[in-house]
Amino acid sequence: MNELQRAEYLSVLGIASYVPRFVLPLAPEPRQAKLPPAEPEAIEQPLPLVTNPLPQSAAQIVDSPVTKERDTVAAEISALTNATKVQAPEKPAIATPVTAPSQQVKPFVLNCWRLGETLLAVDSHEPGAALPLDALFGNIVRALNWHQLPRQQERMHWPMVENRFGPAADASEARDTFSSWLEASCSRYPVQSIWLMGREAQEFCTPQPLESDINHWGEVRILPMPSLSQLLQQPLRKRELWQLLRKAYPAETRTQ
């Protein structure tokens, strides 16, 4: 067995061969391993003499059966390709809808008052604001001589259910929730006027865009106003509110 065969057997058995590059200490003297026999050198044979370097003329090559068959197949493939292009109509490009980015909304509270069939007032303020909101609203109602009307009060929080592990509720969800609530509430208990007081009430509760200081939603008047918190923190805005009330309710404010 020569060295090449031995290395092949060891490789098949999974044994790695190791040959040091220098004589290790206490190692026996190296000896020449048996090498495989040398292959006989190939005897170069002279190339046969070719009397005609071009065995076929150009015309023979073009007219050969193989060339004709190849041209026929190419023609058939070209015809099928053209027919496919004609038969297969181009598909119209489908526009991918773009989703509007979500807008997170800070928590807020809506205080709602209903005065009989006359008024539905929705006031917005941040949670934890210790301001006399009920007293100010009572003064406004007394100035319009509505203080004797039956009154109902409701308070709504946003988000309605706090989810610490889920995504924060966005503006579109708040708008759908409160606008649907206002439409359903006015459908069950119709009123003549709706006051939307503050940014949150005007942004999330309105059933239609607010284009002026007095908007008409069917037979109902919608008035955007400053919130009660803004009126208490900025007393000069009370004059602005009174001018709006005199314009919307001339009969109620005539004696004032």
Q: Kindly report, residue by residue over 31-85, the tens digit of the pLDDT.
A: 777 776 766 665 555 655 555 555 455 445 445 555 566 666 667 666 666 655 5
Q: Is-contact 78 120, C-beta < 8 A?
A: no
Tell me the per-residue pLDDT of 6-26, one tens digit each, with 9 for 90 and over: 777 777 777 877 777 777 777
SS3 content of the chain, % helix, strand, coil (to 5): 35, 15, 50
Closest CA to 241 of 222, 221, 225, 218: 225
pLDDT band at 159 (very low <50, low <70, confident <90, very high): confident
Identify whether 4 is part of a domain: no
Q: ∠102-104-110 over CA atoms, to 5°?
A: 130
Domain count, the chain: 1
In a domain, 7, yes or no: no
For residue 102, give every residue at least 6 positions away whose Cβ sits within 8 Å of its Cβ, in sequence order, or none. 167, 170, 171, 172
- Give the pLDDT band (50/70/90) at residue 256: low
Residue 79 is assigned to a structural domain of this protein: no
pLDDT score of 246: 94
User: Does residue 70 belong to any structural domain of this protein?
Assistant: no
- Note the pLDDT tens digit of each residue in 204-247: 999 999 999 999 999 999 999 999 999 999 999 999 999 999 99
In which residue are the tokens 């004709």 written? 68
Asked whether residue 149 is assigned to any structural domain, the reply reads yes
Neighbours of 60 (CB within 10 A): 11
No. of helices (H) and no. of strands (E), the chain: 8, 6
Strands 108-115 and 151-158: antiparallel
171 domain residue, yes or no: yes
To the nearest whole number, what is the mean pLDDT of the chain?
79
- CA–CA distances in Å: residue 117 to residues 66, 123, 134, 193, 220: 98, 18, 20, 9, 11
Distance CA 234, CA 252 (A): 25
Task: Please list the alpha-helical segments (H only) found in 119-233.
Answer: 133-143, 171-188, 199-204, 228-233
Residue 171's domain comprises: 110-248
Query: Given a cut of 70, is residue 131 above it in pLDDT?
Result: yes
Does residue 202 sit within a domain? yes
- 48 within a domain of the structure (yes/no): no
> What sign does the dihedral 22-28-31-34 (CA atoms) show?
negative
